[in-house]
Every structure is written in C-alpha cells, then in structure tokens.
Structure 1
Amino acid sequence: MAVTLQKPRMARHLMLLSMSVGLLLLVTGPLHHLRQAWGKAIVVATPTASPVLTSPRAHDTKLQVDLSDRQVRVYRNGKETARYPVAVGQAGWETPSGQFKIHQMRHNPIWQHPITKKVIASGPDNPLGRRWIGFYQGEHMAIGFHGTPQESLVGQAVSHGCLRMRNRDIAAMYQQVGLGTVVEVQN
C-alpha cells in the first residue's frame, strides 16, 4: 500500500509562487526591469549601467538647468526654444550637478515612497504630477523632472533633489525631449 503525503496548503502556494517568480525572471530578466515594467516604483529605475535606447530627439536637443536661477532651458540645434521655472533640492537634499542623460520617461507615473514603500497611484494626489523624466539614478533614489500638485512651490528650494515643474510645463517639455537627451545641471 502506497501512502501519498500532501504538503500543507501554504507550502504548495509558496512553491507555486516561487516557481512563477522564477519563470517571470527567466522571461523578463532581472527584477528591476519587472518592477519598472509594472510602473510601481519610479525610485527603482533601470541602473545607469544598462544601455539606454536613444530617441531621435536626443541628437539635437539638450536641457540645461541653472540651479541658481531655478530654470531649465531647452535647446534645439544650439538655439534656446523654451525656458521653464523649476523647484530644486532643499538644503541637505541638493539636486546633483553634472552632465546626465534622460533614461526614463513616464506618462501619469505611479510613485512609491522610498521609505514607507506606500504606492501612490497616478492622479491629483500623486507627488510626481502627470509626467516623469528621469535622468539620475542613485543607489536608493532616482532624480528627474516631474510635475507637482503643489505648483505654488515651483521656483523654490523644496524638493528632495528632483526638479519640480508646473504640470503644463512638464507636459510641454516632455514633447520636446527623448531618451538619451543630455541634461546639464549647473550651480
């Protein structure tokens, strides 16, 4: 007489879950790509070491941020075509300076709080507003241009390093740039 032992229900579910995750990783690659594809974590973007597909707009467009006058200028073929006010990083959370490239762009982004991990859906209460243009990826956070539900703070040093813009301005700038566009940030 053969005896068949059944695993407890929870063990079966955990085994099935781990097999499913393993299969997803085989199909989609590393987990950060999966999280990025789901759009759940702007702060967990593709590392900068990964290749960035370059948009045709990247070749003739450049963004130049002057932190002292809190503005971003858009240049196309060397000529300034637009200028927008931005909120910059507050003391202790300064916006990084240097030369970067846009590596992530999102419409109606979903945001995940980097400490509490709470996910904020896109909409009027989302701190990223209606657009996200990521250009810097640190170990624990990403920096980029984004809209804001608090447009009255644009022009001030109030962010945690990101460059906040009025929603209409980030929507307009979003149309002028692409992946690979150079972003120069200077003090």
Structure 2
Amino acid sequence: MRVVISVRDQKLMLLENGAKVATYPVSTSKFGLGDFLGRMTTPLGYLMVAQKIGDNAPVGAVFHNRRFTGEILAPNSPGRDPVITRIIWLRGLEAQNALAFHRCIYIHGTPEEKTIGQPASYGCIRMKSSDIAALYNQVQLGAIVQIVPDRLPKVPKASPARTNNTLTVQVEKSKIQEQPASTPDSGSLTLEQMRMAGALAAERQKSQARKAPPAPNKDGAIVQNSPRT
C-alpha cells in the first residue's frame, strides 16, 4: 500500500499496485508548506509510516502525548481540537522533510470534522475519525506516504477482490443394504395342520347332519333317511 496526499485537492488517496483503493478528504496546515521548526507547516515529499498508535482505542479516543487519556469526543465537539482516534506518525525520507518525525507530523483524527477539506491543521494531516480508522487498518509500518502540492494523479481504480462463493459439497455414496428375507409368521399354519383342520371340520359337519331332524315331504310326512350301504 502507498499513500498520496494532495495539498491542492485536500485529499488523500490510498494506492495498491498503482491502482486507487480509496480516497478520503483531509486537512493540511493552515500555515502553509515546509519543514521548519516552530513554523507549524506541512512538509512535502516522500515520507514513511514510522509508528502506528491506537490499535484498540475507541473511535473518538483523545490522545495526549500519544497516550489515550480515557476521554472520548464526538465529531465537532465544541471548543475542543485534540488528536483523536488513531495516530500514524511519519518520518521524512528526504532533506526537505528530514524534521518531520521530530516535529511530530502525524496523520490523525480530529473532532473538527467540519473543517476537513480545507487547510486547517497545525502541520499534521487531519482526517475524519471513521476515515483514519479505515486507513489505519490498511497501511503497514514502512508504507510510503507522498505529500504533493498539486492534484492527485489520475490512476485506475483497483479491481474488487474476487471472492469464492462456491461451496463444495462432498456427497458420500451410501451402501444399499439388502433387506433380510422375511421369515414365515410363527402363527401361520403348516400344511399338515391345515389338513387336520379340514378333516375335523368335515367330521363336525357329518356329526351335525346326523343329529338334525328328518325333513318333512310335501304332504307333511316325515321321511326317514335310509342309511347308505
């Protein structure tokens, strides 16, 4: 990642591999440009991220001498203008900005968000709390920061990262288990038992026929059944 800050545009651009990742409004010094002790100006040229402070601090956290005081300020809190939320401390890499680290030139959050987009700082690069928090998470120690007096360069936008939303589903083939052969019902009759039952039923029918009274003929006379010989 690399950062370019335009004094003329009052904007900061985050680049990756030469492509634009994001652009944020900023505020540079209201006292002009330069790198002089006691002048409260914004230095130009190539610098680097020397330190990052505020990893776990809440948004709006107030810092004094780079330490969290415990106070939290909302944007545009009246009468207050401290360093808040995050600090990215810069170190100069050229003769024209050699004093930047000693002068405590930061990229930092400010509660004076209404002044963002115009020169209003005392030498540092001011950003909105939400923007500095986002930038802080994307730049690493040693990242190059270039502050230029002219407009931001025209560069292509970075392509959005491709995400693989395809879920791979592994389907295991289950073995088909053969159903066990059905066994005969323990209560069902065997062939021999069926034969015996049939014989008993026939015997009962014969017995009932012998006990039945003789049937009358058409004249009302009772006809005796002659036994078979």
TM-score band, normalised by shorter chain: 0.5 to 0.7
Structure 1 residues 129 and 100, CA gap change in structure 2 (3 angstroms): same
Offset from partner CA, 1:131-156 (integer Å, 9 cap, x none): 00011354752101100111111112
The residue aligned with 1:173 is 135
Offset from partner CA, 1:130-184 (integer Å, 9 cap, x none): 0000113547521011001111111121111101000000011111101000000
Which secondary structure state, in structure 2, belongs to the residue aligned with residue 121 of structure 1? strand
Q: From 84, 105, 109, give the equivalent of 2:52.
A: 105
The residue aligned with 2:84 is 129
- Higher alpha-carbon Rg: 2
Task: Tell me if structure 1 keeps the 8 A contact 2:90–2:100.
Answer: no
CA distance in 2, matches of 1:139, 1:171: 21
Correspondence 1:96 to 2:96: no
Structure 1 residues 133 and 139, CA gap change in structure 2 (3 angstroms): closer
Correspondence 1:80 to 2:20: yes
CA distance in 1, matches of 2:147, 2:102: 20
Q: Please list, as runs of the form range in 1=range in 2, the aligned pairs for 1:1-187 lying within 5 A after superposition.
A: 61-91=1-31, 93-107=40-54, 108=57, 110-112=63-65, 121-122=69-70, 123-124=72-73, 127-136=82-91, 138=100, 140-187=102-149
Which fold has the larger relative contact order, with Cα–Cα distance below 8 Å and residues 6 or more apart in sequence? 1
TM-score (norm 1): 0.59
CA distance in 2, matches of 1:121, 1:178: 25
Task: Tell me if structure 2 keeps the 8 A contact 1:111–1:126.
Answer: no
Which secondary structure state, in structure 2, belongs to the residue aligned with residue 155 of structure 1? coil
Which secondary structure state, in structure 2, belongs to the residue aligned with residue 175 of structure 1? helix
CA distance in 1, matches of 2:15, 2:101: 30
Q: How many residues align?
A: 122
CA drift at 1:120: 7.3
Task: Tell me if structure 2 keeps the 8 A contact 1:90–1:157.
Answer: yes
| Structural RMSD (CA) | 2.2
Stretches of structure 2 that go unaligned for 5 or more consecutive residues are: 32-38, 74-79, 92-98, 150-229
CA drift at 1:126: 6.8
CA distance in 2, matches of 1:81, 1:75: 5
CA distance in 1, matches of 2:19, 2:120: 30
